[in-house]
Each structure stands twice: as C-alpha cells, then as structure tokens.
C-alpha cells in the first residue's frame, strides 16, 4: 500500500467534505446546538439516576461521568466519520454507485469508510474531552505516561470495535439490500454504553460483553482512567478489537464477490 | 497487426432471482419462505475486440448488454467462461488494470453533488496518483475537447444534464484510460448535447487510439461511432460484425420517389417491370434492390422524362428494431 498516496487522498477527502458541509451553514449550526443539548440532557439524566443513592453498580456519579465523557467522544467520532460514511454504504449498494468505488485504484474499504466527514461532530468530540478533563480533575486522577498509553490503547480499541460492528452490518446490505433497522438497533444499544456495565443484571452484562460488546467500548476505558481495570481486561479488549477489525475486513472482501451491482 | 485487447470465451452469468406470487398471501409467503430461481442472463458468449476499435452493443432492455460491460470491467464475477481485458482478469481488479479502464454510466453519477466538478477532478487525480501539475494539464486538455469552461466552477447541482454529463466524462477520463466502457452515455441528453458527446468520443478515439465499448438505445450513437456491432438477444449473441453489412442485410431495398414530367410517363414507368409501392398522378414510388441501384437509376433517367427523384433510406431505428427481436443473424 502506497502510504503517501493514501495520505494525499485523505487530505482531498477532508477538503471536499468540509467544502460540501460548509455549503449549508444553517445545518452545521443546528448540529452544533443539538450536540450541546444532547450532552446537557445526558448529564442531567445521569444525575437523576444518582439522586437517591450515591452509587450505581459500585460507581459514584463523578466516576460515571467519565463513561459519559468517553461516550460523548465516541459519539462525536461516530457522527464525524462513521455516520456520514457507513450509512452511505447502504445507498451505494442500493443505487449501484458502489461501481465507481470498486473501479478506482484504491482500497474500497478505505474509500467508503473515510470519504465523508461531518465537521459538526468535532464539537461533540471537543465537548467530550472538556467533560473528560473535568472528570480527571474531580476524580483527582494522576496523569502519567502509563496511564496515557493504556487509555489511548483502550479508546483506540473502542473505536475499532464500534467501526467494525457498524461496517459489518452495513456490508450485509450486499445480500439484504436494506439494513437501516439493524444500524438503528446498534445505535440504540450504544446509548446503553453511557452507564456502567455493573449497573445491569448479570444476564444483560453477559449480553453486552459477548454479543454486542458495548462493555468493551466504554466501561473498560473508563475503568482504566479510574485505575480500576485489570490487565487481562485490557488485553481482552485489544484481542476483541483486533478480531473485530480483521473479521470486518475479511467479511467485506468476501461480500464483494456477491456484489451484483444495481440494474441500470 | 492490431492486437486483441478484449478476449471473451464461453462467458455465462447466472443470478439468483427471488420470485413472488401476487397479493397479500404471496407477500406473506415471500417474507417467510423466499423462493429463488437461478436465471442465466448471459449464455455462453465469445468475442474479441481489437485495440482502438469502437464496438456497439445492441439489444432490447434486459438483453444483457450492461451485464456484459460490468463483467468486462470487473464489477461482476462471471459464472462460467473466461475474460481477458488488456491481459488482466477483470474481476481481480488489479491496480494497473483499473488505471487502464473507465466506466461511464448515463444514469449514475460520481461527481460530488454540492461542489463544482473541478473538486471531483482533483479528487480523482489524487486517487490515480497524478500530481497537481499533471492533473491541471489534463483537465485543461479535456475541458477544451469537451468545450466546457465556466461550468467547471459551478456546483454540480446547478448544472444542466448535458453539462453534468460532460463533467462526468472528464472525471472518468482524467487518468487517460485506454479502454472505455460506456453504458448509455447520452441517456436523457438533448440532440445537440448528444451530438457534442459523440463528437468528443470520436475525437478521443482518434487521438488516443482508445478502445470503446458502448451500449445505447439511440441509434445515432451507434451509427456515427461504431463500425462493428454485437447484438445481444436474451443473453446470447445474435450478430457480431460490421454495422453496414447488418443494415444491408436487414434492408436490402431502397425506396425511390420519382416525379415524372407527365402522368403518361408515370404510367409508362409503372408498367416497365419495377416493383411499385404506390403512384399518385405523376409521382411514383418504386423499390430497387441495393445491388442494382446504379444501373436501374441510369436506365430510368435514359428512358423516361424525369423532373426530380428522391432516394429514401429506411429509418435506422426501424431496421435495428428488427435485430432486437430476432435470435440470430447469419451474414
């Protein structure tokens, strides 16, 4: 793979996406306001849960806020990259415009995963980081090199798991044509990631760890920040992320053999 | 000797198609137990195309023309048989193969809707690994050939269909491919835009010696660009050869309207042994076989007092229409 070429193409993707989005100023403004209101609403909801008892599933409100911060950062990443690109896969397959992607001398997964970008998602990422640094302060977390390395690894793994799950579902469009509902179900499961895994019953914890690995997406990185995580969990998250990423790639290449292109 | 750039041998393609009975009962049955049947859309076809050739694929809707083009450019895997395009197996979509071909579809677009076409051109240039200087040079050259200028800087959504199609062509040709697959490129364009597009393709072929495979329902596209046609009927090739031979075979006679000086001359001509289609006063329409047209006209002009005459070619659409419904043409 020619890295220089891919960087050059990605720079063009950034440029064209920003230029496209900036054509609609009002839309960006509405997205920004929605992101702020959504964060305020989520923190308010969380505070209501903690109103009667100071702990849920062994987590204090201040600690649970870290999960909310990570969720907000991941949701920002979702809205910036995953949502504009991965939902487009369904459209590409239904309308047959995937033909243009497949005939370009560039990796098709790279193209369809990164071509678009929604700049309003950046604000959500910034809000998430703002909340995150606030949590570090109120939880008196000591920032050191090992802490920063482990948190970067776990958050990167979370992004990989989230991307792979979404990409996997979108790929099934090649057979099922319409998969909007499955993506909506995935998004609603992600809302659950705003709460600590321990706050759910045992059976739900198993479900959110094995079948839809929401636990790996927010809870494990949060535990790392609070110094509560054990090494095996971090290793497990790394393995799960790698397996998901490799599987989604293999699955895409396999699915393309069944692509029949839309009729013209 | 000109080399074969496309070589297709015993190619077949089958699709699994879901079939559904009508009504609510059929819908429920279809939801729970989907019945599919294998449909062979391309049936054991073979042909070769030489470098620099422009070949038209003719056929009714659903005959399999687009499926053939999509297999040639590597979008669809063939079920049986072999395809070699420029020495590559298309469905492997190797980088060098993709840099050599392009697909243009009249009903689908790759340009970024909200931005001027120039942005899409530079994006494509980076995908094809062209530097900015080279991309600029090629955009200038192609835009001159396509006669577009200001349109390059207007958002795609504000362009007319004709301007958009020209921009689509430029986006698809920025890497200077040597094989062009065109699926109904003039669809929906007005007469002038169609003519300009044909002129451009002709020029592009002359300048670059590119091979062009074209499908179109506009006969003018075929007659003005293609010397050779491949007729596809229900997934099989019904004719592969020169277009003028096909036309001669399908319409072996010409109609000639002769205006005589007097009605007596017209009556004399009517009884002279020619096949008469109709006669109104001093005007008579006769049918003459293509191979005897010169001698017959010479004899008419020598023996009768003729005021004027008109040779009517049968409408090309009518002639080609015969191909679309017939299984085989042996010429």
Contacts of A102 in chain B (CB under 8 A): 74-75, 93
Give me the pLDDT at residue A228, please: 73
Distance from CA of A107 to the nearest CA of B (A): 10
Give me the pLDDT at residue B11, please: 95
Q: How far is CA B245 from CA A108, B222, B302, in A?
A: 44, 14, 31
Distance from CA of A103 to the nearest CA of B (A): 6
Q: Using CB atoms and an 8 Å cut-off, which of residues 58-97 of chain B contact chain A?
A: 66, 70, 73-77, 93, 95-96
Whether the pLDDT of residue B331 is over 60: the answer is no
Determine whether the interchain pair B112/A20 forms a contact, defined as Cβ–Cβ distance below 8 Å. Answer: yes
- Six token digits for residue A83: 């949502």
Average pLDDT by stretches of 10, chain A with 264 residues: 89 91 79 80 75 71 82 88 88 86 94 90 87 85 80 90 88 75 70 70 74 75 77 88 94 88 63
Determine whether the interchain pair B129/A2 forms a contact, defined as Cβ–Cβ distance below 8 Å. Answer: yes
Determine whether the interchain pair B73/A5 forms a contact, defined as Cβ–Cβ distance below 8 Å. Answer: no
Lowest mean pLDDT among A24-33, A53-62, B140-149, B275-284: A53-62
Contacts of A9 in chain B (CB under 8 A): 123, 126-127
Whether the pLDDT of residue B180 is over 60: the answer is yes
pLDDT band with cut points at 50, 70 and 90 for residue B108: confident
pLDDT band with cut points at 50, 70 and 90 for residue B173: very high
Q: Using CB atoms and an 8 Å cut-off, which of residues 49-108 of chain A contact chain B?
A: 95-97, 99-100, 102-106
pLDDT digits (tens, 9 = 90+) for A41-96: 877 777 777 777 667 767 777 877 888 888 888 888 988 999 889 888 888 888 88
Distance from CA of A53 to the nearest CA of B (A): 48
Backbone angles phi, psi at B116, to 5 degrees: -65, 150
How many angstroms separate the CA atoms of A253 and A247, rounded? 10
Q: Report the residue from A24, A106, A261 with minimal CB separation from B76.
A: A261
How many angstroms separate the CA atoms of B194 and A123, rounded? 47
Determine whether the interchain pair A16/B126 forms a contact, defined as Cβ–Cβ distance below 8 Å. Answer: no
Interface mutation vs chain A, best among B71, B126, B173, most A CBs within 10 Å: B126
Determine whether the interchain pair B123/A9 forms a contact, defined as Cβ–Cβ distance below 8 Å. Answer: yes
3-class secondary structure, B103: strand
β-pairing, B179-183 vs B101-105, is: parallel
Instruction: Give the chain A residue nearest B109 (alpha carbons).
Output: A97
Determine whether the interchain pair B119/A102 forms a contact, defined as Cβ–Cβ distance below 8 Å. Answer: no
User: Looking at the complex, does the CB of residue A3 fall below 8 Å from at least one CB of chain B?
Assistant: no
pLDDT band with cut points at 50, 70 and 90 for residue B45: very high
Contacts of B74 in chain A (CB under 8 A): 102-103
Contacts of B101 in chain A (CB under 8 A): 103
Contacts of B184 in chain A (CB under 8 A): 264
Q: Is B55 left (phi over 0), alpha (psi -120 to 50) or beta?
A: beta
Q: How far is CA A139 from CA A40, A61, A215, B17, in A?
A: 20, 10, 21, 60
Give me the pLDDT at residue A177, please: 65
The strands making up B211-215's β-sheet, listed across from edge to edge, are B101-105, B179-183, B211-215, B54-58, B228-233, B236-242
Under a CB-based contact definition with an 8 Å cutoff, are residues B224 and B215 in contact? Answer: no
Query: DSSP string of B111-167?
Result: S-TTS-HHHHHHHHHHHTT--HHHHHHHHHHHHHHHT-SGGGGS-GGGS-HHHHHHH
Contacts of A96 in chain B (CB under 8 A): 108
Whether the pLDDT of residue B328 is over 70: the answer is no
More confident residue, B267 or A184: B267
Contacts of B73 in chain A (CB under 8 A): 103
How many angstroms separate the CA atoms of B326 and B331, rounded? 14
Under a CB-based contact definition with an 8 Å cutoff, are residues A162 and A222 in contact? Answer: no
Contacts of A16 in chain B (CB under 8 A): 112, 115, 119-120, 123
Give me the pLDDT at residue B327, please: 61
3-class secondary structure, A39: helix
Contacts of A95 in chain B (CB under 8 A): 108
Under a CB-based contact definition with an 8 Å cutoff, are residues B111 and B166 in contact? Answer: no
**Number of residue pairs across A and B with CB atoms under 8 Å?**
79
User: Looking at the complex, does the CB of residue A19 fall below 8 Å from at least one CB of chain B?
Assistant: yes
Instruction: Give the chain A residue nearest B96 (alpha carbons).
Output: A105
User: Looking at the complex, does the CB of residue A184 fall below 8 Å from at least one CB of chain B?
Assistant: no
Under a CB-based contact definition with an 8 Å cutoff, are residues A63 and A226 in contact? Answer: yes
């Amino acid at each position: 793979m020619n890295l220089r070429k891919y960087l050059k193409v990605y720079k063009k993707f950034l440029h064209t996406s920003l230029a496209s989005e900036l054509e609609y100023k009002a839309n960006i403004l509405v997205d920004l306001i929605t992101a702020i209101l959504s964060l305020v609403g989520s923190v308010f909801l969380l505070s209501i849960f903690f109103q009667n008892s100071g702990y849920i599933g062994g987590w204090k409100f201040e600690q649970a806020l870290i999960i909310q911060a990570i969720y907000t950062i991941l949701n920002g990443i979702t809205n910036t990259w995953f949502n504009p690109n991965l939902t487009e896969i369904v459209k590409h397959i239904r309308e047959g415009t995937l033909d243009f992607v497949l005939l370009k001398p560039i990796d098709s997964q790279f193209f369809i995963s990164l071509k678009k970008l929604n700049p309003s998602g950046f604000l959500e990422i910034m809000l998430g980081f703002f909340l995150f640094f606030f949590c570090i302060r109120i939880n008196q977390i000591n920032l050191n090199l090992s802490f920063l390395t482990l948190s970067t690894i776990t958050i990167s793994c979370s992004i990989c798991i989230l991307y792979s799950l979404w990409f996997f579902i979108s790929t099934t469009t090649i057979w099922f044509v319409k998969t909007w509902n499955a993506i909506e179900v995935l998004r609603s499961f992600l809302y659950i990631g705003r709460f600590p895994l321990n706050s759910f019953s045992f059976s739900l914890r198993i479900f959110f760890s094995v079948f839809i690995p929401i636990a790996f997406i927010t809870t494990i990185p949060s535990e790392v920040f609070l110094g509560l995580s054990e090494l095996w969990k971090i290793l497990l998250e790394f393995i799960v992320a790698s397996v998901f990423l490799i599987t989604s790639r293999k699955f895409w290449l396999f699915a393309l053999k069944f692509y029949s292109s839309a009729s013209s | 000797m000109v080399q074969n750039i496309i070589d297709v041998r015993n190619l077949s393609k089958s699709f699994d198609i879901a079939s559904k009975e009508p009504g609510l009962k059929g819908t429920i049955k279809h939801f729970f137990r989907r019945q599919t049947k294998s449909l062979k859309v391309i049936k054991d076809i073979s042909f070769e195309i030489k470098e620099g050739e422009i070949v038209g694929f003719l056929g009714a809707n659903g005959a399999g023309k687009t499926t053939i083009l999509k297999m040639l450019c590597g979008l669809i895997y063939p079920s049986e048989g072999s395809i070699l395009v420029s020495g590559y197996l298309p469905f492997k979509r190797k980088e060098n193969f993709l840099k050599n071909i392009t697909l243009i579809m009249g009903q689908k677009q790759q340009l970024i809707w909200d931005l001027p076409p120039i942005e899409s051109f530079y994006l494509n240039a980076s995908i094809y690994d062209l530097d900015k200087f080279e991309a600029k040079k090629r955009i200038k050259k192609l835009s001159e050939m396509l006669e577009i200028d200001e349109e390059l800087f207007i958002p795609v959504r504000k362009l007319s269909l004709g301007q958009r199609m020209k921009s689509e062509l430029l986006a698809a040709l920025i890497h200077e491919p040597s094989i062009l697959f065109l699926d109904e490129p003039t669809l929906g364009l007005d007469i002038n835009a169609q003519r300009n597009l044909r002129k451009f393709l002709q020029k592009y072929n002359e300048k670059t010696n590119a091979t062009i495979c074209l499908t179109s329902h506009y006969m003018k596209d075929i007659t003005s660009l293609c010397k050779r046609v491949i007729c596809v009927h229900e997934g099989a090739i019904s004719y592969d050869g020169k277009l003028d031979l096909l036309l001669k075979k399908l319409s072996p006679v010409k109609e000639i309207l002769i205006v005589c000086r007097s009605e007596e001359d017209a009556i004399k001509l009517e009884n002279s042994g020619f096949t008469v289609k109709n006669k109104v006063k001093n005007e008579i329409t006769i049918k003459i076989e293509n191979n005897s047209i010169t001698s017959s006209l010479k004899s008419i002009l020598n023996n009768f007092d003729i005021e004027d005459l008109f040779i009517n070619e049968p409408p090309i659409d009518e002639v080609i229409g015969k191909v679309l419904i017939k299984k085989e043409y042996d010429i």
